[in-house]
Amino acid sequence: MAKANNVTELIITGLFQDPEVQKVCFVLFLPVYLATVLGNGLIVVTVSISKSLRSPMYFFLSSLSLVEICYSSTVVPKFLTDLLSKIKTISLRGCLAQIFFFHFFGVAEILLLVVMAYDRYVAICKPLHYMNIMSRPLCHMLVAGSWLGGFVHSIIQVLITIQLPFCGPNVIDHYFCDLQPLFKLACTDTFIESVTVMANSGLIALCSFLVLVTSYVIILVSLRKRSAEGRRKALSTCASHIAVVILFFGPAIFLYMRPSSTFTVDKLVAVFYTVITPMLNPIIYTLRNAEVQISMRKLWTKRTEA
């Protein structure tokens, strides 16, 4: 890689050019990031400590929250620092590392959402066999498989990118390193590479989304045979997950299922799923889940009494 590249450092244009607007963005996004880390961290701690949250559903929720912290931390801290910097730079190796971890945690989250949909399908459609099917070893295997899937996906993306020659210019038109903006800097035709990475990311997102939609259609059809109270409880459980799926997959499919056009639009959409969505997930799950709220209150009570 070193022999093919004259570029070792990249300049990031950022989200906005106006310094005053950047300061406003810093003031807005710093609390959002802190809320993301604290909210998701609280879910991880609560599920780990509380004896009443030992079901597979909460194990998967805790795993999702951990991924959300990692996913957001891949982009947001550097983004916040750059908002206060006149010149925003990152090394080429640092850029490739950010791409790797960004896609690693992003795909791990997608696969975890699929796993959580399967968990809800078994719980609602096969309630008598739920604990036998969703055994502890299987739950650990599903979570490990999600992380492994994210790792394999990211390795493929980086291996494709690392072979490209970068000999100038060195200005990346984004507020973090991603594949399509970086491809614009390669001093060679990247059509094949662009199609490959778009298919890799886009197909994962699209296929996972179709699996999720299918699973929830089956769940909704099966609920017709339940009592009104049974339907209410089942829908309440699934509603949070469906909301998170829509918030995550909407922007992801928009960006990765088509060739990039205007980076301004792409950057604004990217802000939503890198900064905003990770903060909303713990809010969505805790607001609609009485068990999590009760466990958090007990945890807070024990802490204040201690």
Q: What is this structure's pTM?
A: 0.90
Q: Which residue has the higher pLDDT, 282 or 182?
A: 182
Of all residues in the chain, what percent carry a pLDDT higher than 70? 91
In one-letter notation, the amino acid at residue 98 is Q
Q: Give the residue from 113, 276, 148, 259 showing the smallest Cα distance to 198.
A: 259
Q: Work out the average pLDDT over 180-191.
A: 89
What pLDDT does 2 receive?
A: 43
Tokens 């030992």 -> residue: 54
What pLDDT does 44 receive?
A: 93
Lowest model confidence (mean pLDDT) among 3-17, 24-38, 200-214, 253-267:
253-267
Q: Residues 229-245: pLDDT tens digits? A: 767 777 777 777 788 88
d(C-alpha 83, C-alpha 14), whole Å: 8
What pLDDT does 65 receive?
A: 94
Of all residues in the chain, what percent carry a pLDDT higher than 90? 45
Distances (CA, A) of 132 to 59, 114, 121, 136, 216: 16, 20, 14, 9, 22
Asked whether the predicted pLDDT for residue 3 surpasses 70, the reply is no
What pLDDT does 294 receive?
A: 80
User: Mean pLDDT score of the chain, rounded to an integer?
Assistant: 86
Helix (H), strand (E), coil (C) string for the chain: CCCCCCCCEEEECCCCCCHHHHHHHHHHHHHHHHHHHHHHHHHHHHHHHCCCCCCHHHHHHHHHHHHHHHHHHHHHHHHHHHHCCCCCEEEHHHHHHHHHHHHHHHHHHHHHHHHHHHHHHHHHHCHHHHHHHCCHHHHHHHHHHHHHHHHHHHHHHHHHHHCCCCCCCCEECCCCCCHHHHHCCCCCCCHHHHHHHHHHHHHHHHHHHHHHHHHHHHHHHHHHHCCHHHHHHHHHHHHHHHHHHHHHHHHHHHHHCCCCCCHHHHHHHHHHHHHHHHHHHHHHHHHCCHHHHHHHHHHHHHHHHC
Q: Which residue has the higher pLDDT, 302 or 263?
A: 302
d(C-alpha 185, C-alpha 194), whole Å: 12
Q: Give the residue from 242, 249, 12 showing the smallest Cα distance to 121.
A: 242
Residue 237 structure tokens: 């459980």
Q: Residues 78-98: pLDDT tens digits? A: 999 999 998 899 999 999 999
Distances (CA, A) of 99 to 164, 177, 205: 14, 6, 17
Q: Work out the average pLDDT over 107-132.
A: 91
Residue 294 structure tokens: 């009760």
d(C-alpha 62, C-alpha 67), whole Å: 9
What pLDDT does 241 receive?
A: 78
Q: Residues 135-157: pLDDT tens digits? A: 999 999 999 999 999 999 999 99
What pLDDT does 292 receive?
A: 80
Q: Give the residue from 64, 27, 29 showing the smallest Cα distance to 44.
A: 64
What pLDDT does 27 receive?
A: 96
Q: Work out the average pLDDT over 150-174.
A: 91
Q: Which domains does the chain have, with CATH numbers?
A: 9-305 (1.20.1070.10)
Q: Work out the average pLDDT over 102-113.
A: 94
Q: Work out the average pLDDT over 258-284.
A: 78
Q: Work out the average pLDDT over 110-128.
A: 91
Q: Give the residue from 165, 177, 162 showing the smallest Cα distance to 11.
A: 177
Residues in the chain: 306
pLDDT band at 26 (very low <50, low <70, confident <90, very high): very high
Q: Work out the average pLDDT over 1-21.
A: 80
Cβ–Cβ < 8 Å for 209, 258: no
What pLDDT does 92 receive?
A: 93
What pLDDT does 303 receive?
A: 65
Lowest model confidence (mean pLDDT) among 16-30, 140-154, 255-269:
255-269
d(C-alpha 239, C-alpha 230), whole Å: 14
